[in-house]
Amino acid sequence: MSKLLKFTHSEDFTTEIAYLIQEKILNVYDKNGLVRLALSGGDTPLPIYEKLAQSQVIPWDRVEIYQVDERYVDSTNPDSNQGSISKIFGPVCSFFKEFVTWNTMLPIQESSKQYNQYLESVAEEDDFLFDLVILGMGNDGHTASLFPKDPALDNTQDWSIFSLNTVSKTPQRLSLTYKSLLNSDDIFLLLNGEEKLKTLDKVLGENIDFHNFPIRKIIDEHQNTTIFILIDEQNN
């Protein structure tokens, strides 16, 4: 069953989530000596990553970072999730044990295939592919780059897919699949604003098909999903 935590101040939202991520990293490190995180891009998680980058206790050389999804653009493009994550972590990136990304210099099919093969090898090593996944949700209920009515929603074989999303300015996308996302110990779903809260209310309604609201499958099928919602009173 998913947990829902609401915040009314952005600083509290950022600080609490960064603390929980840090605690997760330290607990997994103490147990396994290696931590795997899958990170989404977007405006909401970036201040949290910035706070994590300032941590003096996280053993970054034992942390592997993976992308949740990516636009099919060069990493120097302002729309690149790889670029925004690299920028916000700054010099800390050089200490990551691994920073696993889609190579968008390759043809999109080859980029997805390469990432898929890498994840396949990782999945053979442990009980979970990821210790923690950070997700967001669009106003249409999409998560990662899994969009409503996309045929990729029914892909149960691959860890990574590419898709054509016709509603965004960067239609070609690369994404982890449900198979990857659900193969995780914990999921944090980060939402910001009244519109996201309205969408969440729709997502949690009765008889909702995940093909219409892709995040619904995560909420239904992952037992350790925590939903964090920020409704910042200072901006209302």
* Interatomic CA distance for residues 78 and 97, integer angstroms: 25
How much is the pLDDT for 1?
A: 60
Helices and strands (H and E) in the chain: how many:
7, 10
Rounded distance between C-alpha atoms, residue 79 and residue 70, angstroms: 9
Q: What is the pLDDT of residue 53?
A: 97
Domain total for the chain? 1
The range of the structural domain enclosing residue 27 comes to 3-235
Going edge to edge, which strands form the sheet with 69-71? 69-71, 172-176, 160-164
Q: What is the mean pLDDT of the chain?
A: 94
Q: Above 80 in pLDDT, residue 234?
A: no
Confidence of residue 165 (pLDDT cuts 50, 70, 90): low
CATH for 49: 3.40.50.1360
Residue 138: per-residue pLDDT: 94
Q: What is the 3-state secondary structure (H, E, C) of 110-132?
A: HHHHHHHHHHHHHHCCCCCCEEE
Is 85:147 a contact under the CB 8 Å cutoff? no
Q: Kindly report, residue by residue over 1-31, the tens digit of the pLDDT.
A: 689 999 999 999 999 999 999 999 999 999 9
pLDDT in tens, 73-112: 999 999 999 999 999 999 999 999 999 999 999 999 999 9
CB 145 within 8 A of CB 165: yes
